[in-house]
């Protein structure tokens, strides 16, 4: 089987597509409920930072159907569900640190009763000073973790000697994950005091561990099962934990099955989001636009606790470079503690927040020099044999950015359209068009080395059907489909013979989160390892049976020396000859090392690349805008499933466009999130997709030995819509003939666009 050259992938439908479209794919809330099931709803803090003086729950308990009200005192084990640092209470114990923090939980015979009752508590607070603003937190040195620093070369000297310098501020907001299926956990008491938990989570093993800690159980007493999520996007990497714990604590105490399904408003009020970032930068560059020095402070809004902020900030630092070689760099990254939801993973995991700052600076340089930003980008791209070391010391081994960018520049007709836009704008005083091409480079691997491992189980039954189980979770991204494809290839059988089971902590143990885009890289390899072991045993048996070498498994047939037999018949013979027809498999990513203090090493196995060209039209009187056309060229290596990968690329592009344009998180002066439902929080819809949308995969087999030489595709394309943001900025800057840099904040809402235009008219350059 040619695994290295050629195109091993094929566009088979998502393994659940037929169930999705028929509404028959069971999510956690669709599991047939056990007799006696109760329902939980949280009672939440109405203050951003306060001590709780008294809680009066009488009115709560008086609501018909209420069975119990639990507070921190009812937690038998640790009152904590933090993924790394233990600073995440399950239920607030005397102190509330953000508006929306769960204080108690109502358990009732119906969801409606529980939710109604939860609103009836009388809580007396003693207010404490609240920090609501990132810059304020940075000023006050209010951190959840110590600052991270990266120094490469000598930024100070290089800056002093630079031909030109620019400095300023950039502001980029956070983003709600807005998974269509909200957070949900369903816990049932199990034999011997244990818990069986169905949980919508990207990280079943961590749910197993936090529940065990909360209940003082051994890990082997908690079983977590996850068949599929209706989206996770990072929001269910760690933050499914609080609900898993609450449902389990209640199930254990009441000895009844308990379901906790979050109301959308509660979900948005309680859970963390993508970190908003504030930047203060200085950049030095020569008269051509070649970058000579970068000095930047990045302040991330961590919220009230650490959660995953440490690795998110580390990834932001390691993605500042994006596709560009930087010689002399100084980065300070701050994990700012604010009295708000604890921010967490969101597709890209800090990478987008790092890279967008560099793109903003490059955009500024271009305007300063009167050049097309693409020219400045091309000048600064990583090189192949020189200018190929990242600020964190990793060599960029397979840089394809210059070729990929050139191919897209051609196929999108960039130069011609640039000219056409210029003449359109000359004749259009109010409606202005803008265009931008932005590249991306994204590092693949967890930036915590030991997470880069996975296990799998493959069973062949005697009818020739195959069951695959692995540590990864399905959230719509097509992981189970791709892993099944890998197994189908290894065994030479069709997809219809293969079924993927729910992820289950009692099958494959000690799994990593399905995150960092590594799901297929890790679990695909583990499943391949398992399938290969079975195939090797079958090959030996077939050799004996057919009495010859050269056994082949293809097209649901086993063949050897001119003879052949249907796969299922051959499996019966193998079984009767007592051949082991199942196997485990394991994989760990080779060659990773990382010094988190010096921020140096090789944290990524390889990089994924891509680029997009976006064209927009902006109404300079109202700030409204529309995306007219998008052209994308993305590197998924040898794609295992081009249809699924293109879906990932286009989905991430539109999702990232939402982050940078319409999705605005607004907290009021009391620290209450006012945008906690789709009525006030605008995610993109089908009408926001461009009428012309060209997406292609770049032909580029992975130079590293990944499964089928593919590349991870889940997160990298989230960086593609930088081109939308910079196209809008391009349109805005036409208002004064590109003489100044519009101070455009993200999200570029109509208000932000009008503010930027006003600033230009008032001569306030960014």
Distance CA 296, CA 361 (A): 11
- Least separation in angstroms between CB 483 and ligand HPA: 19
Q: Is 505 exposed, middle or buried (0-12, 13-18, 19+ CB in 10 A)?
A: buried
Tell whether residue 350 is a contact of ligand MTE (CB under 6 A): no
Pair of tokens at residue 188: 């049932």
Distance CA 185, CA 198 (A): 6
> Could you say which of 514, 614, 620, 700 contacts ligand MTE (CB under 6 A)?
514
Distance CA 128, CA 132 (A): 12
Contact set with ligand HPA (CB under 6 A)? 237, 308, 311, 315, 345, 349, 446-448, 451, 513, 515-516
Strand ranges (DSSP E) for 322-400? 329-337
- Least separation in angstroms between CB 517 and ligand MOS: 6
- Least separation in angstroms between CB 13 and ligand MTE: 14
> Could you say which of 71, 305, 517, 539 contacts ligand MTE (CB under 6 A)?
517
Query: Strand 329-337 relative to strand 291-303: parallel, antiparallel, unpaired?
Result: parallel
Handedness of CA 94, 97, 99, 103 (dihedral sign): negative
Tell whether residue 314 is a contact of ligand MOS (CB under 6 A): no
Site string for ligand MTE, 706-725 (x = CB under 6 A): ------x-xx----------
Distance CA 91, CA 73 (A): 9
Tell whether residue 234 is a contact of ligand MOS (CB under 6 A): yes
Tell whether residue 345 is a contact of ligand MOS (CB under 6 A): yes
CB atoms within 10 A of CB 74: 16
- Name the binder of 741 from ligand HPA, ligand MOS, ligand MTE, none, CB < 5-8 A by kind: none
Pair of tokens at residue 180: 């269509």
Residue sitting closest to ligand MOS (CB): 234
Distance CA 764, CA 240 (A): 44
Give which of 225, 223, 218 is closest to 27, Cα–Cα. Answer: 225
- Least separation in angstroms between CB 297 and ligand HPA: 22
Instruction: Please tell me whether the peptide bond between 747 and the residue prior to it is cis, using omega within 30 degrees of 0.
Output: yes
Active-site residue, from 282, 552, 715, 762 = 715
Residues sharing a CB contact under 8 Å with residue 706, sequence separation 6 or more, in sequence order? 521, 525, 605, 606, 637
- Name the binder of 311 from ligand MOS, ligand HPA, ligand MTE, none, CB < 5-8 A by kind: ligand HPA
What number of CA atoms fall less than 13 Å from residue 390's CA on the CB side?
Answer: 29
- Name the binder of 315 from ligand MTE, ligand MOS, ligand HPA, none, CB < 5-8 A by kind: ligand HPA
Residue sitting closest to ligand MTE (CB): 519
Collapsing DSSP to helix, strand or coil, 280 comes out as strand
Q: How far is CA 589 from CA 603, 605, 704, 705, in A?
A: 11, 7, 11, 10
> Could you say which of 256, 347, 480, 729 contacts ligand MOS (CB under 6 A)?
347
Give which of 260, 248, 106 is closest to 190, Cα–Cα. Answer: 248
Site for ligand MTE in 291-330 (CB under 6 A): none
Is 397 considered catalytic here?
no
Tell whether residue 447 is a contact of ligand MTE (CB under 6 A): no
Q: Which is nearer to ligand MTE, 184 or 379 (CB)?
A: 184
Pair of tokens at residue 344: 């967490």
Q: Which is nearer to ligand MOS, 229 or 707 (CB)?
A: 229
Site for ligand MTE in 624-683 (CB under 6 A): 648
Binding window for ligand MTE (CB under 6 A); candidates: 65-73, 103-111, 515-523, 724-732: 515-523
Site residues (CB under 6 A) for ligand MOS?
202, 234, 237, 345-347, 349, 515-516, 715
Would you name the residues annotated as active-site residues?
A: 715
Site residues (CB under 6 A) for ligand MTE?
231-234, 347, 475-477, 479, 514-520, 648, 712, 714-715
């Amino acid at each position: 089987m040619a695994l290295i050259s050629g195109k091993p992938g094929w566009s088979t439908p998502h393994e659940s597509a037929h169930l999705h479209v028929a509404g028959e794919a069971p999510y956690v809330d669709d599991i047939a409920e056990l007799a006696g099931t109760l329902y939980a709803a949280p009672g939440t803090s109405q203050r951003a930072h306060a001590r709780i003086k008294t809680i009066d729950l009488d009115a709560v308990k008086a609501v018909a159907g209420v069975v119990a009200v639990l507070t921190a005192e009812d937690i038998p084990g640790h009152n904590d569900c933090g993924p790394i640092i233990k600073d995440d209470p399950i239920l607030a114990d005397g102190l509330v640190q953000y508006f929306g923090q769960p204080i108690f939980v109502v358990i009732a015979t119906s969801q409606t009763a529980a939710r109604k009752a939860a609103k009836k508590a009388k809580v007396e607070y003693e207010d404490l000073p609240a920090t609501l603003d990132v810059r304020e937190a940075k000023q006050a040195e209010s951190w959840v973790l110590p600052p991270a620093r990266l120094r490469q070369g000598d930024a100070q000297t290089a800056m002093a000697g630079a031909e030109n310098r620019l400095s300023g501020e950039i502001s980029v907001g956070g983003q709600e994950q807005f998974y269509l299926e909200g957070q949900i956990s369903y816990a049932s008491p199990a034999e011997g005091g244990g818990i069986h938990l169905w949980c919508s989570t990207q990280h079943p093993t961590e749910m197993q561990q936090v529940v065990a800690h909360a209940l003082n159980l051994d890990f082997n007493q908690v079983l977590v099962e996850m068949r599929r999520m209706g989206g996770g996007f990072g929001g269910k990497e760690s933050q499914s934990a609080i609900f898993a714990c609450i449902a389990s604590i209640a199930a254990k105490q009441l000895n009844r099955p308990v379901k906790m399904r979050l109301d959308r408003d509660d979900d948005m009020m309680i859970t963390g989001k993508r970190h908003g970032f504030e930047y203060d930068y200085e950049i030095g560059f020569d008269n051509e636009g070649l970058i000579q020095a970068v000095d930047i402070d990045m302040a991330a809004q961590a919220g009230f606790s650490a959660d995953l902020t440490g690795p998110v900030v580390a990834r932001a630092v390691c993605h500042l470079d994006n596709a560009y070689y930087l010689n002399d760099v100084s980065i300070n990254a701050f994990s700012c503690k604010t009295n708000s939801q604890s921010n967490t993973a969101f597709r890209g995991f800090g990478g987008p927040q790092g890279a967008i700052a560099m793109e903003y600076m490059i955009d500024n340089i271009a305007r300063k020099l009167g050049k097309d930003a693409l020219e400045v980008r091309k000048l600064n791209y990583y090189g192949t044999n020189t200018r190929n070391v990242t600020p964190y010391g990793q060599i960029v081994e397979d840089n394809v950015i210059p070729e990929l960018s050139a191919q897209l520049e051609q196929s999108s007709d960039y130069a011609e359209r640039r000219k056409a836009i210029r003449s359109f704008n000359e004749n259009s005083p109010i409606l202005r068009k803008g265009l931008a091409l932005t590249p991306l480079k994204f590092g693949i691997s967890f930036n915590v080395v030991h997470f880069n491992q996975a296990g799998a189980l493959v069973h062949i039954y005697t009818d020739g059907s195959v069951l695959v189980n692995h540590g990864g979770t399905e959230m719509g991204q097509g992981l189970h489909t791709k892993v099944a494809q890998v197994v189908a290839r290894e065994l030479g059988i069709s997809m219809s013979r293969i079924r993927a089971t729910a992820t289950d902590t009692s099958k494959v143990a000690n799994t990593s989160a399905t995150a960092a885009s590594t799901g297929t890289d890790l679990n695909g390899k583990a499943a391949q390892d398992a399938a290969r072991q079975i195939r090797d045993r079958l090959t030996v048996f077939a050799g004996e049976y057919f009495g010859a070498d050269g056994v082949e498994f293809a097209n649901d047939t086993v063949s050897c020396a001119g003879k052949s037999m249907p796969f299922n018949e051959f499996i019966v013979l193998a079984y009767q000859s007592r051949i082991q027809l199942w196997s485990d498999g394991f994989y760990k990513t080779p060659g990773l090392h990382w010094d988190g203090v010096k921020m140096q090493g090789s944290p990524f196995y390889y990089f994924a690349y891509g680029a997009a060209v976006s064209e927009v039209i902006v109404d300079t009187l109202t700030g409204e805008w529309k995306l007219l056309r998008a052209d994308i060229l993305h590197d998924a290596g040898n794609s295992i499933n081009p249809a699924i990968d293109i879906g990932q690329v286009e989905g991430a592009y539109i999702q990232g466009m939402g982050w940078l344009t319409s999705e605005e998180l607004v907290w009021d002066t009391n620290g209450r999130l006012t945008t906690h439902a789709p009525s006030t929080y605008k995610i993109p819809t089908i009408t926001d997709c461009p009428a012309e949308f060209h997406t292609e995969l770049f032909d580029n087999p992975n130079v590293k030995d990944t499964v089928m030489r593919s590349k991870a595709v889940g997160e990298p394309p989230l960086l593609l819509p930088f081109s939308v943001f910079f196209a809008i900025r391009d349109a805005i800057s036409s208002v004064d003939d590109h003489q100044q840099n519009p101070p455009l904040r993200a999200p570029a809402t109509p208000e932000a666009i009008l503010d930027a235009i006003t600033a230009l008219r008032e001569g306030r350059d960014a």
